Amino acid sequence: TRPYLGNPKYTIEVLQKYNFAFQKRFGQNFLIDTHVLEKIIEASKITKDDFVLEIGPGIGTMTQYLAEAAREVVAVEIDKTLIPILENDTLKDWDNVTVINEDILKVDIAALAQEKNGGKPIKVVANLPYYITTPIIMGLFENHVPISSITIMVQKEVADRMQVGPGTKDYGALSLAVQYYARPQIIANVPPNCFMPRPKVGSAVIQLVRYEEPPVQVENEKLMFRLIRASFNQRRKTLVNGLKNSQELDFSKEEIEKAMAETGIPVNVRGEALTLAEFADLANVFNKLR
Ligand code: SAM
């Protein structure tokens, strides 16, 4: 058997056979476009050496392609009504796929990578439920799961946020986190008619290729991300005020001013104007204060 679910005809057949009811709360929009599927597979450069984690297989549309390309695939799906469809029907012809019925946010992915891939970097591929895009990506990076690349379908606007730098309205904590850990690249823009049912927003496939070495040197990553969150929590306020009012930080006004002076960053700057390199500098100076 070859991948076949990208053809809408077969997707409809499966949905009808099982009388499947789409669940809005799980962000279920299934891909029905073979070109998009082929593009995702091509961009992710999966080989028979690779272990792939798929988040949210749905009825297994992309999983079929992944199973063809990879050595082994684990697909984590939260919706239990999809499990029998995947196991007994759409994925039954591939013996290198395991389906896990679980919320991805509760899976110990580092342990999975250890067990299935000897701790070597894994590839993550997903057509993500849009409501949990940010926690999933931040979780993968911040927990230092060994990953070589993440190739994901996200809301177009979120893909833009991952790519932009200071001075644009989309710039935020997600931009900085992504760019600290990975090189982002948009692979394809995907219109609503490539999905069933059609989402209300445009989508994009973005690939995040993990850096071996981060582009900036930071002694205390956790502290840097606390500074970043503090400065974006209070947009349009000055950085100094953002840092002073943060629940996550407890530096005094004097310490903040001293640190700012040491980095040469003007005291009246807004947090959203700082580059990743400037946040790194600031974090290194604050780190020395304690
Ligand atoms: N991969 C399929 C495709 O491309 O057609 C389905 C994509 S659909 C946008 C997202 C899938 O993620 C759904 O199957 C949904 O049930 C599943 N999902 C939603 N939240 C999840 C979670 N927290 N953990 C695991 N899977 C989840």
If one residue of 10, 73, 77 were mutated to test the ligand 1 pocket, choosing by the most ligand atoms within 8 A of its CB, it would be 77
What is the helix, strand, coil percentage profile of the chain, to 5?
45, 20, 35
pTM (global) more than 0.80: yes
The reply to whether ligand 1 has any atom less than 6 angstroms from the CB of 58 is yes
Ligand 1 atom 1: residue of nearest CA: 57
Ligand 1 atom 5: residue of nearest CA: 30
Residue 158 in 3-state DSSP? helix
Q: Which residues of the chain have pLDDT under 70?
A: none
Query: What burial class does residue 280 get, using C-beta atoms within 10 Å of its C-beta: 0-12 exposed, 13-18 middle, 19+ buried?
Result: buried
Are β-strands 30-31 and 195-196 bridged in parallel, bridged antiparallel, or unpaired? antiparallel
Give the pLDDT score at 234: 76
Check the annotation: does 77 bind a ligand: yes
Give the pLDDT score at 153: 97
Q: How far is the CA of 44 from the centre of ligand 1 (A)?
A: 19
- ipTM of the complex, rounded to two decimals: 0.99
Give the pLDDT score at 272: 87
Lookup: tokens for 183: 């090189």
The reply to whether ligand 1 has any atom less than 6 angstroms from the CB of 103 is yes
Which residues lie below 8 Å from residue 9, measured CB to CB, with a gap of 6+? none
In this structure, is the dihedral angle defined by the CA atoms of residues 126, 131, 137 and 140, taken in order, positive or negative? negative
DSSP type of residue 24 = G
Per residue in 61-99, is it b (16+ CB within 10 Å) or e — as a string? bbbbbbbbbbebbbbbbbbeebeebbeeebbeebebbeb
Scan for tokens 């500074």, then name that residue: 227
Q: How far is the CA of 77 from the centre of ligand 1 (A)?
A: 6
Between the alpha carbon of residue 13 and those of residues 64, 87, 244, the distances in Å are 16, 17, 58
Give the pLDDT score at 167: 87
What atom in ligand 1 is closest to the CA of residue 5? 5
The per-residue pLDDT for range 146-166, each reduced to its tens digit, is 999 999 999 999 999 999 999
Residue 41 in 3-state DSSP? helix
